[in-house]
Amino acid sequence: MFRFSGLLVFSGFILTGLLGCGGAASYQVEGVVTLDNTALAEGDIMFIPVDKKSGPEGGKIKEGKYSLKAPAGDMRVEVRAVRATGKTTPSAAGPGAPGDPVYESIIPERYNTNSELKASVGSGKTKFDFALKSK
């Protein structure tokens, strides 16, 4: 009987050890991003923990949908997307030399550089849709 309880205590230790190693839980977060009620064809989304204890988590937006792993907590969310302007910068190497394409952001700064988007990730809170307006 003593031996049995010893075993029980031992396995208890192991269990606590394993649980301790788990660290901060992270959640699979997903949702839909629209710009002026149209799904954003391609772009990037970032979940930045407000407490800055861990780094931002990034994901790509494809056809409006995104999915990424984020830790629990309050997040500042940034969305970025670009379109090619069709222009290229002139090249010093003369005509025919590679010019550089010029991109411009199609998402207003209030959704990225000065983001107002927020999300609070936690158990049961993993679905966040963002409806963005270009104006």
Partner 1 sequence: MFKSERRGFTLIELLVVIAIIAILIGLLLPAVQKVREAAARMQCSNNFKQLGLALHGHHDTFGKLPPGQYNNFYSNDAPWIRGCWVQPILPFIEQDNLFRIYDTARQANGNWALVVPNKDTIIKTLVCPSDPNGGKTQTRDTNTVNGVAVVQGLYTNYVLCAGSTYYTTNGQNMNGTFYVKSEITMTGVTDGTSNTVFASEIRVSPDVSANDLRGRYCNSWEGNNWFSTLNPPNTTVPDGQQYQGQSIVGAPISNQGPNALALYARSAHTGGVQAMMGDGSVRFIANSIAPLTWQAMGTRNGGETISN
Residues that bind partner 1 (CB under 8 A): 43-44, 46, 52-60, 68-69, 80, 82, 89-94, 96-98, 100-105, 112-113
**Smallest separation, CB 116 to partner 1 (Å):** 17
Residues 57 and 68 sit within 8 Å (Cβ to Cβ): yes
Pick the closer one to partner 1 by CB: 59 or 130. Answer: 59
**Smallest separation, CB 8 to partner 1 (Å):** 30
Cα torsion through 67, 72, 73, 75, rounded to 10:
-20
Residues 127 and 31 sit within 8 Å (Cβ to Cβ): yes
Cα–Cα distance for residue pair 115/55, rounded to 1 Å: 17
**Smallest separation, CB 36 to partner 1 (Å):** 19
